[in-house]
Amino acid sequence: MKTSHTLYSILDLALVSEGHTLKQTYNNALELAQQAESFGYTRYWLAEHHNAINIGSSATSVLIGYVAEGTKTLRIGSGGIMLPNHSPLIIAEQFGTLGALYPNRIDLGLGRAPGTDRETAQAIRSDFMQAAHSFPNELEKIEQYFSKENAHAKVRATVAEGVDVPIYILGSSTDSAHLAAKKGLPYAFASHFATTHLKDALAIYRKEFQASEHLEKPYVMAGVNIVVADTDEEAERLSTSLIRMIVGIFTGKREYVQPPTALTDELREVMQHPQVHQMLKYSFIGSKATVKEQVKTFLAETQADELIAVTNIYDGKERIRSYELFAEIMKELEH
């Protein structure tokens, strides 16, 4: 079982809770990252989403800079930048600048989904679908802009040339597994919500992996929903905010993150709905002892090199406490 050197990290959407301002939300994100440094986390990633009132990480690179400025050792990055929304030149300039400001601390995770609805994707970039189909070529453009050799090109991202910003490929299906393997790049799978293709995608990535200047062997990161509290009952109560978020996705009724309530029979029934149940398959909710066993099983099944934890809890302090307990679990699994 792969538990001896499994790294653990955070994926955040800067979720906006009911009654909280955006400023409070961003302050909470920074406080979480600062605490995560002391808990032993490897990286803190922000995900790009648009047109959702409960997600504050729309201007992802700006928020990365804010968090990087307030931390010292934690790697800060994107999980991910949705590349078809953007010009590769602009992303190279943004992350080259971040990499120059915060050396050896910035990660560039790239995905091909829009991170929003179709209408908003069109508003962001009218040729979004064409850009999505061109994802491998767009990725190569970014790599070129970061290379020292691009100093002789007519079009340059001068602030990115030679700057060390590792690239990660994100995936929620099997498509990106082929690309990550071919390019010899680390692969982060969004199993915290896209659970169906996890095992197939990891198998493809590992089978087809070609060593590169970036990696000698495959490197797998896997997303998991984590809600840890002192008791199973308290963790279940905290998880009701997550359950309501998931229901909002399926019903199209997005709202701010709601305060937790008792886990009623009605909510338990909702969790058993096939779509909800499938989406929350890799959600580990409970006390330290309960979640530790779930994590051990997940690591045995996936052999992931790194877990990236998503903790959608209403209250900032309780969220930090959950991440603290999860760090304790991961440290215990090392021994």
Q: Which residues contact 13 (CB under 8 A, 6 or more apart)?
A: 46, 47, 49, 55, 56, 57, 310, 312
Residue-level pLDDT at 1: 36
Asked if residue 235 belongs to a domain, the reply is: no
What would the two tokens of residue 132 be? 């999505």
Residue 291 in this model has a pLDDT that exceeds 90? yes
Question: Is cis: bond before 80, omega within 30 of 0?
Answer: yes
Residue-level pLDDT at 3: 41
Asked if residue 138 belongs to a domain, the reply is: yes
Q: Calculate what percentage of the chain has a pLDDT beyond 70.
A: 99
Whole-angstrom distance, CA of residue 295 vs CA of residue 299? 6
pLDDT in tens, 39-71: 999 999 999 999 999 999 999 999 999 999 999
Task: Give one DSSP letter per residue of 178-226, joined into a string.
Answer: HHHHHHT--EEE-TTT--TTHHHHHHHHHHH----SS-SS--EEEEEEE
What secondary structure letter does DSSP report for 55?
Answer: B
- Domain of residue 170, residue span: 7-227+283-333
Asked if residue 16 belongs to a domain, the reply is: yes
- The least confident of 89-103, 209-223, 263-277 is 263-277
- The rounded mean pLDDT for the chain is 95
Whole-angstrom distance, CA of residue 258 vs CA of residue 248? 11
Residue 137 in this model has a pLDDT that exceeds 70? yes
Whole-angstrom distance, CA of residue 302 vs CA of residue 221? 10
Residue-level pLDDT at 132: 83
Asked if residue 22 belongs to a domain, the reply is: yes
pLDDT in tens, 1-48: 344 589 999 999 999 999 999 999 999 999 999 999 999 999 999 999
**Angle at 7 (CA atoms; ends 294, 136), nearest 5 degrees:** 105
Residue-level pLDDT at 4: 54
pLDDT in tens, 188-235: 999 999 999 999 999 999 999 999 999 999 999 999 999 999 999 999
How would you write 217-285 as a 3-class SS string?
CCCEEEEEEEEECCCHHHHHHHHHHHHHHHHHHHHCCCCCECCCCCCCHHHHHHHCCHHHHHHCCCEEE
**What is the tally of structural domains in the chain?**
1
Asked if residue 238 belongs to a domain, the reply is: no
Asked if residue 290 belongs to a domain, the reply is: yes
**C-alpha distances in angstroms, 310 versus 120, 252, 287, 307, 324?**
25, 21, 16, 10, 13
Asked if residue 253 belongs to a domain, the reply is: no
Residue 322 in this model has a pLDDT that exceeds 60? yes
pTM: 0.95
DSSP-derived 3-state class of residue 107:
strand
Asked if residue 246 belongs to a domain, the reply is: no
* Mean of pLDDT values over 94-103: 98
Residue-level pLDDT at 103: 98
What would the two tokens of residue 330 be? 């991961």
Q: At 69, which CATH number?
A: 3.20.20.30
- Which of 125-134, 274-283, 324-333 ranks highest by mean pLDDT? 324-333
Residue-level pLDDT at 125: 83
